[in-house]
């Protein structure tokens, strides 16, 4: 990372940057943004940062709210924060009969509460830059299925959160977008197919880079528009 790049490029924070969609977003934005790569795996984040022109690492456990607040306070954000792309999340499978209260609480703690709290901490910097909040949601944020009720509920809640935040931040110039990918070739998809006891057919799923390109469009959209929601699905095969 050069000082010149850091001073002239808009800064974007990417929680969940070490793999999957978050990693693809980092590569999508690398040419024209300064990236703050966040997650729990410091080694993986450092390796990714070394591949990029202008990037730094923020190791954080987002469910530790005190530590997250301290990490945010330590960020150097001249000119504010141009964007945050919430790509960190977990998949909780199981029926209502099977899942415990702890399963539900862990699911919402990561997929909803951590997203909201990190955004709250970043709002002053986002307002300064008239930045954009992007929540990586899911097709499950529109349609719930059996044995994925907890995951779907968290994604419905995340969609409601983005709708509310969009209205709240309109006077401050902060844009808020919800991106809903269908099946994507990621580690989480492997988890899901294992739970479904189905064959993994990567050729039928979207590439992470495809979703990242949509997120890049959201962040780069002209200032007179907000991309409120994007619904992406794999193209039908044969």
CA-closest candidate to residue 176, choices 155, 157, 158, 151: 158
What local confidence, expressed as pLDDT, does residue 200 receive?
64
Of 142, 151, 200, 205, which is the active-site residue? 151
Residue 151 is among the residues annotated as catalytic for this protein: yes
The CA-based angle 184-134-153, given to 5 degrees, is 65
Q: What does each of the 238 residues of the chain score in pLDDT, given as a tens digit?
A: 444 556 689 999 999 999 999 999 999 999 999 999 999 999 999 999 999 999 999 999 999 999 999 999 999 999 999 999 999 999 899 999 999 999 999 999 999 999 999 999 999 999 999 999 999 999 999 999 889 899 999 999 999 999 999 999 999 999 999 999 988 776 666 666 766 667 867 677 889 999 999 999 999 999 999 999 999 999 865 4
Q: Which two tokens stand for residue 6?
A: 């850091």
Give dist(CA 205, CA 81) in Å, integer: 32
Distances (CA, A) of 91 to 138, 190, 193: 11, 11, 11
Give residue 197's pLDDT: 66
pTM (predicted TM-score)? 0.92
pLDDT computed for residue 160 by the predictor = 98
CA-wise closest residue to 9 among 47, 56, 69: 56
Cα torsion angle, 201, 207, 210, 212, sign: positive
Which residues, 6+ apart, have CB-to-CB distance to 9 below 8 Å?
A: 32, 33, 34, 54
The pLDDT, as a whole number, for residue 2 is 46
């Amino acid at each position: 990372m050069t000082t010149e790049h850091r001073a002239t490029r808009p800064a974007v924070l990417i929680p969940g940057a070490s793999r999957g969609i978050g990693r693809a977003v980092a590569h999508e934005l690398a040419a024209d943004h300064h990236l703050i790569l966040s997650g729990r795996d410091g080694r993986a984040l450092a390796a990714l940062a070394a591949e990029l022109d202008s990037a730094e690492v923020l190791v954080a456990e987002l469910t530790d709210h005190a530590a997250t607040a301290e990490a945010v306070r330590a960020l150097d954000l001249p000119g504010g924060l141009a964007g945050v792309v919430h790509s960190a999340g977990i998949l909780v499978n199981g029926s209502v009969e099977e899942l415990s209260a702890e399963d539900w609480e862990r699911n919402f703690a990561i997929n909803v509460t951590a997203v909201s709290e990190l955004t709250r901490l970043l709002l002053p910097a986002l307002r300064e830059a008239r930045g954009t909040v992007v929540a990586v949601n899911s097709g499950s944020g529109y349609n719930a299925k059996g044995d994925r009720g907890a995951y779907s509920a968290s994604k419905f809640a995340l969609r409601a959160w983005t709708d509310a935040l969009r209205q709240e931040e309109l006077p401050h110039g902060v844009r808020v977008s919800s991106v809903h990918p269908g099946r994507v070739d990621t580690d989480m998809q492997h988890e899901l197919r294992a739970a479904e006891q189905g064959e993994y057919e990567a050729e039928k799923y979207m590439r992470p880079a495809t979703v990242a390109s949509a997120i890049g469009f959201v962040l780069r959209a002209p200032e007179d528009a907000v991309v409120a929601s994007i619904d992406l699905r794999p193209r039908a095969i044969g």
